Structure 1
Amino acid sequence: MSIIFNEQDKSFTLTNGRIQYVMQLFLEGYLGHIYFGKALKSFNIKRAFYQTEREGAPNPAKHADARIFSLDVLPQEYSVYGSGDFRIPALEATLANGTTTLDLRYHSHEIFSGKKDLANLPSSYANNDDATTLEITMREVAGDLEVVLSYTIFNDVDVITRHARIKNLGQDPIALRKAASLTLDFPTDEMDRISLWGKHAFERNIERTPLNHGIEIAASSRGATSHQHQNFLALCDRTTTEFTGDVWGCSLVWSGNFEAATEVNSFGNTRMVMGINGFDFKWMLNHDETFTTPEAVLVFSTDGLNGMSQNYHRFVQDHIVRGVHKNAVRPVLVNSWEAAYMNFTEDSIVKFAKDAVKLGAELIVLDDGWFGVRDKDNCSLGDWTILNQKKLPNGIKGLCDRIHDLGAKFGLWVEPEMVSPDSELFRAHPDWAIGVPNHERYQQRCQYVLDLSRQDVRDYIVESICQVLASADIDYVKWDMNRNLTDIGSFAYGKEQQQEIATRFVFGVYDIMKRITEAFPNMLFESCAGGGRRFDMGILCYMPQTWTSDNTDEVCRQKIQYGTSLIFPPITMGCHVSACPNHQVGRSTPMLSRFICAMSGSFGYEMDLGKLPEAEQAEVAQHIALYKELRNTIQFGNFYRLMSPFEGTQNETAWQFVSKDGNEVILMYFRNLCQPQGNIRKLRLVGLDENATYEVTHHMYNQSLACNALDYLCNYKLEGDTFSGDELMHFGVNMDKVDRDFAAYLISFKRK
């Protein structure tokens, strides 16, 4: 692994032997992007960028006669507004003299082992042996602005992280109007654009379209990553598939407003810009102050979308998630929400827990309704230290101890970032909620957002939540966030800083998460934001798993989990079985199908297991026992997508897990709607040892319901059968003919 500066041709090369990133200094210090892709044996950089005159492309003053050099066609490392580049800028600022033209030139650079933490921001981490960092300092020609571009390349994973530090060297304030994390230019427009869109209860749907001329943007201005768009973007060759072809992915270690934009210009070049959303953004930068952009995570793969995802999964697990739970097996969880909502007592929760523990559950979670007078979701948020004595006469500790006596762990729900208008906290501190003068605040779910830009508000949250968490031997916390930001303003800041509040809010989220999680390092924290509103690498730096979606319907979850897996490993996904008819879509699906889908992550239940018929309780016990047997491979193995619910008939999904040592393989297949005289699906596995033999250890599928179903299925049991690795990968294995809707299949193998 190396980063080399070539003095002769003024080039920078970053490589780990598998990927390579090349930059070059042009003329009087313009920093151009030359190449990002597969590591090359040699590179003729002199011929890498073809220069020619382009009509309408301005030339720097010293090169006006040559006419062949223009920032409007130069592939750049960090684009700015005003000096001849008409494409999307990464940086916009209003200087002290009121002008907005910027002209950045190379000043210096530094190369060092390892990587530094980012100021006030979560970021990836690495030891000195794991990564090498290049920092290139650029200066604005007028001398008042400095931009340090940081690049870290990792040895163990094909990732380059980038961010920028923008510093005011002048005496007068500068107003940043846009400060993206990166620019990445491509010499072609013959690529597809892949993004993830959604809505509440239907997050992270994959959308792949050819690049179009002009600007295309996926963004959030909601104060959080959002259900609607993910802070992720990929570009790939038009022939790229799941396992073949070149793909470039980018995601942000950030949990607030973002913008992921592409622009195809008239010359067939493509620019990608990603970072904080410039919409309604301003940051006042005073003398000697620095603004640091969120970290961007760049991945390149020649092995298609699967190769991109494998790199993201390893990176998240090895360089984002941290703490004692990083490599710890996650427990089987049962949550009280859909079982009881806010109608419970200590005794009813204990009974709920007994029934679950009897079937194998390991962690019991008490959801909303334990504090204040919260019998509905219209009050008491913020009153965390006011316990609901009517429901919990012996306090959190009394309930926690009784759950522990059953042999299970105990977890608790909180929503620290919100406040109810009907609460003791809001009555005492109405100015602590985000809002603007002379406007009534808008409500969502009968709640406001606390102003986390304020130190006093953050201190109150940390103190009150820590008081609750210290009151008992709590093992787990579900940290919720159930609304977007509106009326964005703060009563603690002046008019020049009001457009900083949405960004300062996210910094505040990170501050309270860091302080609380560090105060309880052994506690397992799971992030939730109305489901998947804030599933991003920023939050995963503090909490090792996230509730993937409020929608637990097995059919919907196939798409939600499949799309999420483009970036995030299954261990980070909270995936639960819920009761039928499903609370979100009203659909009824078999218990086995719900189980197979939900077991593909950090597994649990959103239902009262004690209310199930005895036969279903026995089935649940069998499922939990099976998950415990297989979960090490599911949580820590390699994940492969085999059939996409977004392609083909959109009626089938298949994915696969392979343990890190290659000894265990788990295949899952879903077929949602039964077709008359349907095809027999043959699936070819991946990631196996071609020379090995694999024995089937489990073979599970739904029973047929059709009136003409024959007895042949009773004889089609694969347990004990053996297959060669090359047979499974090149010929495949047949899925059973099950005549019913919402069929799911699980086959596990052991290498002999």
Structure 2
Amino acid sequence: MAIRFSEEQQVFYLTTQQSEYQIKIDQYGHALHSYYGAKVDQDMSYLFSYENRGFSGNPDVVGKDRTYSLDVLPQEYPVFGMGDYRQPALEIENHDGSYGVELTYDSHEIKMEKYQLEGLPAAYQNSGESVSTLELNLYDAISKIKVQLLYGVFEEKDIITRAVTITNMGSGKVNVLKADSASLDYADKDFDVIHFHGRHNMERQYERLSLKNGAFSIGSHRGTSSHQHNPFIILSDSETTESHGNCYGMMLMYSGNFLATIEKSQYNQVRAGIGIGSRGFRYSLAHGESFTAPEAILSYSANGLEELSHHYHQFIQKNVVRGKFRDQRRPVLINNWEATYFDFTEQKLIDIARDAAGVGIELLVMDDGWFGKRDSDTSGLGDWQVNLEKIPNGLKQLADTVNKEGLKFGIWFEPEMVSEDSDMYRKHPEWSINIPGRPGIRSRDQYVLDFTRQDVRDHLVGAITEVLDSANIEYVKWDMNRSLSNVFSESLESHEHGKFYHLYILGLYEVLERLTSAYPDVLFEGCSGGGGRFDAGMLYYTPQIWTSDDTDAVERLRIQHGTSFGYPTRTNGSHVSAVPNHQTSRITPLNTRGIVAMSGSFGYELDITKLTQAEKDEVAEQVEMFKSYYNLIHEGLYYRLTNPWENESFTAWQIVSNDKKETLVSLVRTRQYANDPIAIFRLKGLDPQQIYQLDGEEKEYTGAALMASGWPVPQTNQEYQAFTYHFVCKE
């Protein structure tokens, strides 16, 4: 069994193919975190340290035993206020104003199916898949707080999911101030922390730090998971590489405020926690009410970072992303945003569609500017009626005409926003988020709509439904272009505003669930100024996300490198754009832009009508190449062959088919040197016994040779040249 409980040892064993997770219920009923790592099949609580340590207090239940302290023992779900001074997973303000909560074992249940969470995205179990659930119930008899720890064990995927439900069983009201979804304790670990920071136009930048004494945290209080930090961290042994060593991943399946904290204590113990953001969070619970924390996705690898990434890639592809587009080939698209911005006409879109069809592109996406009074980003948001000055024949005829040209038709929305200069705002100013009596905070000349309100959600579902029903629309780009501030809702009581950020995300999820369920044949793509909400929570509703507003091929190398640690290739919206690039003014060859963009859900972001015939011919070759490699790129195993933060000369990556019979290797020269030294890069993931041939060549190479001795980096006479190598097994 993937989950078993030893009555004799009082230990829960959670096992996957390669990992083991242990929880010990000790003699006082405390749930202790015994172990997480490679399979050992041994009660690891023998490692617990019991010594008399100064300033580490002892619970009353242990009497005069000064060697027992929660300040030193590894906790499964540590709480604030009861003698453990490290970072807590749970902080509760009791009805009398005190903060003490002591959780002890109450009961448990093991189920042979995956738990689900009401109103929140959660990983799901496929037919025939072995998944088990542990419900571990902890209770505080004085505060009458019940905490249910949920564990989903995906045995074949080497994934353990975690979630938490907190219920107030007492008569007085309590406030939840902090509630992590998962917490892990390690004794005496020399860890590095890998995280992915950034900013708008430069998301998920890889950074690896040596963990020192003290606490390191990342998070967001912007109302979204944010451009600045991604809700995904990796703990690794200091010597861990891509292909060797221990590493642990913690990913939060949530699209709002979050906090991840890693603390190295006075005794060199390490505690890592991830959960909903605690700033501005105060979730009040009356008698019988519950709060459910979002799901966390945990994984362990003994074989380096690339294997950990493979765990997450396969899990997100098959157990997070839903609907027909999980497995169905997605169309190659062209988006008119960087081609025209707001300045387009119906005929211009038709001209783009006609030329796009000629090179094999399959979908035209009409971006911002098609609705209301929308000639710039200063007006019109919220007025989701077609602008008949730009599209005089209406959406239906435009979509029909695009369809006749041989393309599907898609459309852009920013449903969560409203412009001050809009009919919606003039009619319903109370629908926007602002504190009464306090001047508002504009960002991009827009306000955020109050998604905690049912009337707002219903209105938007109705407005979007009306648009989607009016024409043959087969794609929706869902954008969100500012952070939340001045949060307040007229629909909430004064004591409830600490719930606002979370209720906003629950409202967003409700709207997405209603629309994606009603339109299963529409491909939804998430976006928040690019990658400002790139998380597993959004991927539950939108099977791909626009990776970044930065379309520069060279900068995308680092963005896509960081993204690849946790998220699969097919979730990355990635487009070929014009040069000079609109964000950096860099000029890169069309071939390079195509090769970089193919590591994602592929498309174009330029005015194809302005390309030369030679350029159109090259685009047609790129589209055909991508289609021929689609299954390999979107289903294969992704390997990072270089780190662009360490190698300034070139960046290389590789995708290998699951049967190891085919591989596509890509390389971009990022810096040119005079009299370049010889360089070689080594392939990964091949069958060492197989014979491989490069497309168009008869020469043979063993998998062992390509992995051990490698492949030469081509010499070039200019920067930003790119190359692909497609190897297949000899028949």
C-alpha displacement of 1:171: 1.8
Residue 733 of structure 1 corresponds to 711
C-alpha displacement of 1:273: 1.3
CA distance in 2, matches of 1:478, 1:139: 45
C-alpha displacement of 1:395: 1.1
Residue 439 of structure 2 corresponds to 440
C-alpha displacement of 1:650: 3.0
Equivalent position amino acid for 1:32 in 2: L
Contact 1:436 1:491 in 2 (8 A): no
CA distance in 2, matches of 1:636, 1:406: 30
Matching of residues 548-587 of structure 1 within 5 Å: 548-587=547-586
Q: Does structure 1 residue 742 correspond to structure 2 residue 704? A: no
Equivalent position amino acid for 2:115 in 1: K
Matching of residues 179-218 of structure 1 within 5 Å: 179-218=179-218
Contact 2:49 2:73 in 1 (8 A): no
Give the aligned CA root-mean-square deviation in angstroms. 1.1
| Corresponding residue SS for 1:181 | strand
Residue 634 of structure 2 corresponds to 635
Contact 1:174 1:284 in 2 (8 A): yes
Equivalent position amino acid for 1:325 in 2: F
Q: Does structure 1 residue 424 correspond to structure 2 residue 423? A: yes
Per-residue displacement from partner, 1:231-259 (whole Å, max 9, x unpaired)? 11111100000110000110000000000
Q: Which runs of 5+ in 1 are unaligned?
A: 699-718
| Corresponding residue SS for 2:156 | coil
Contact 2:125 2:131 in 1 (8 A): yes
Residue 328 of structure 2 corresponds to 328
CA distance in 2, matches of 1:451, 1:15: 43
Q: Does structure 1 residue 343 correspond to structure 2 residue 343? A: yes
| Corresponding residue SS for 2:441 | coil
C-alpha displacement of 1:45: 3.7
Contact 1:16 1:153 in 2 (8 A): yes
Contact 1:114 1:129 in 2 (8 A): no
| Corresponding residue SS for 2:202 | coil
Contact 1:580 1:588 in 2 (8 A): yes
Per-residue displacement from partner, 1:356-414 (whole Å, max 9, x unpaired)? 11111111110011110111111111111x21011111211111001110111111000
Contact 1:176 1:285 in 2 (8 A): yes
CA distance in 2, matches of 1:264, 1:650: 33
Per-residue displacement from partner, 1:88-133 (whole Å, max 9, x unpaired)? 1111111111111111111000000111210110010014742111
| Corresponding residue SS for 2:554 | helix
C-alpha displacement of 1:651: 3.4
Task: Assess, with a 3 A threshold, how the Cα gap between structure 1 residues 625 and 435 changes in structure 2: closer, same or farther.
Answer: same
| Corresponding residue SS for 1:444 | coil
Matching of residues 164-243 of structure 1 within 5 Å: 164-243=164-243
| Corresponding residue SS for 2:501 | helix
| Corresponding residue SS for 2:37 | strand
Equivalent position amino acid for 1:741 in 2: E
C-alpha displacement of 1:44: 4.3
TM-score (norm 2): 0.98
Residue 302 of structure 1 corresponds to 302
Contact 1:81 1:100 in 2 (8 A): yes
Report runs of 4+ in structure 1 exceeding 4 Å deviation: none
Q: Return 121-130 or 2-11, whichever deviates more.
A: 121-130
Per-residue displacement from partner, 1:184-207 (whole Å, max 9, x unpaired)? 101024110111100000000111
| Corresponding residue SS for 1:643 | coil
CA distance in 1, matches of 2:43, 2:622: 58
Q: Return 120-129 or 188-197, whichever deviates more.
A: 120-129
Equivalent position amino acid for 2:99 in 1: T
Residue 501 of structure 1 corresponds to 500
Contact 1:435 1:491 in 2 (8 A): no
CA distance in 1, matches of 2:53, 2:608: 69
C-alpha displacement of 1:48: 2.9
Matching of residues 95-494 of structure 1 within 5 Å: 95-127=94-126, 129-384=129-384, 386-494=385-493
C-alpha displacement of 1:278: 0.8
Equivalent position amino acid for 2:114 in 1: K
CA distance in 2, matches of 1:389, 1:725: 60
Contact 2:34 2:45 in 1 (8 A): no
C-alpha displacement of 1:324: 0.5
Contact 1:610 1:617 in 2 (8 A): no
| Corresponding residue SS for 2:716 | coil
Residue 711 of structure 1 corresponds to none
CA distance in 2, matches of 1:729, 1:75: 41
Identity %: 43
Equivalent position amino acid for 1:675 in 2: Y
Contact 1:189 1:211 in 2 (8 A): no
Per-residue displacement from partner, 1:536-558 (whole Å, max 9, x unpaired)? 00000011000000001011000
C-alpha displacement of 1:46: 5.3
1:655 to 638, 653, 656: 653
CA distance in 2, matches of 1:124, 1:473: 31
CA distance in 1, matches of 2:498, 2:438: 17
C-alpha displacement of 1:143: 4.6
| Corresponding residue SS for 2:48 | coil
CA distance in 1, matches of 2:43, 2:220: 41
| Corresponding residue SS for 1:20 | strand
C-alpha displacement of 1:16: 2.2
CA distance in 2, matches of 1:573, 1:156: 25
CA distance in 1, matches of 2:334, 2:669: 27
| Corresponding residue SS for 1:566 | coil
1:667 to 665, 668, 674: 665
C-alpha displacement of 1:620: 1.2
Residue 677 of structure 2 corresponds to 679
Residue 604 of structure 2 corresponds to 605
CA distance in 2, matches of 1:412, 1:509: 19
Contact 2:649 2:672 in 1 (8 A): no
CA distance in 2, matches of 1:161, 1:351: 49
TM-score (norm 1): 0.96
Equivalent position amino acid for 1:230 in 2: N
| Corresponding residue SS for 1:470 | helix
CA distance in 1, matches of 2:641, 2:25: 43
Per-residue displacement from partner, 1:623-677 (whole Å, max 9, x unpaired)? 1111111111011111111101012x43321100112232221001112111011
CA distance in 2, matches of 1:505, 1:547: 22
Matching of residues 590-629 of structure 1 within 5 Å: 590-629=589-628
CA distance in 2, matches of 1:733, 1:98: 66
Q: Which runs of 5+ in 2 are unaligned?
A: none
Contact 1:113 1:129 in 2 (8 A): no
Task: Assess, with a 3 A threshold, how the Cα gap between structure 1 residues 558 and 103 changes in structure 2: closer, same or farther.
Answer: same
Task: Assess, with a 3 A threshold, how the Cα gap between structure 1 residues 20 and 743 changes in structure 2: closer, same or farther.
Answer: same
Residue 70 of structure 1 corresponds to 69
Per-residue displacement from partner, 1:324-350 (whole Å, max 9, x unpaired)? 110011211100000011111111100
Per-residue displacement from partner, 1:692-716 (whole Å, max 9, x unpaired)? 1111116xxxxxxxxxxxxxxxxxx
Residue 83 of structure 2 corresponds to 84
Residue 702 of structure 1 corresponds to none
| Corresponding residue SS for 2:100 | coil
| Corresponding residue SS for 2:616 | helix
Matching of residues 692-707 of structure 1 within 5 Å: 692-697=690-695
Per-residue displacement from partner, 1:523-575 (whole Å, max 9, x unpaired)? 11100100000000000001100000000101100000010000000000001
Equivalent position amino acid for 1:518 in 2: S
| Corresponding residue SS for 1:293 | strand
CA distance in 2, matches of 1:611, 1:659: 37
| Corresponding residue SS for 2:203 | coil
CA distance in 2, matches of 1:659, 1:330: 19
CA distance in 2, matches of 1:601, 1:188: 40
Contact 2:680 2:711 in 1 (8 A): yes
